[in-house]
């Protein structure tokens, strides 16, 4: 909700909001986020086993 987004102060909270939003949008949005993350941060993507 908007209230949750306004109160998202920590980095983890902000990440949760982004991930929750993408998950609600469906598999195509999830695939796009994963592809962008793999391109942007290969080390993290490997650690998360996205690659």
Dihedral, CA of residue 11, residue 16, residue 33 and residue 3, to nearest 10:
-100
Answer whether 34's CB lies under 8 Å from 50's CB.
Answer: yes
**Nearest partner of 34 among 50, 20, 47, 18, judged by Cα:** 50
Q: What is the pLDDT of residue 51?
A: 83
Q: What is the pLDDT of residue 22?
A: 97
Give the torsion sign (CA, 32, 40, 48, 2): negative
- Enter the pTM of the model: 0.71
pLDDT tens across 1-51, in order?
A: 566 666 657 889 999 999 999 999 999 999 999 999 999 999 999 999 998
């Amino acid at each position: 909700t908007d209230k949750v987004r306004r109160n998202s102060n920590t980095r983890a909270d902000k990440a949760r909001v982004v991930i929750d939003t993408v998950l609600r949008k469906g598999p195509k949005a999830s695939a796009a986020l994963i592809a962008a993350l793999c391109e942007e941060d290969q080390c993290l993507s490997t650690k998360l086993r996205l690659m």
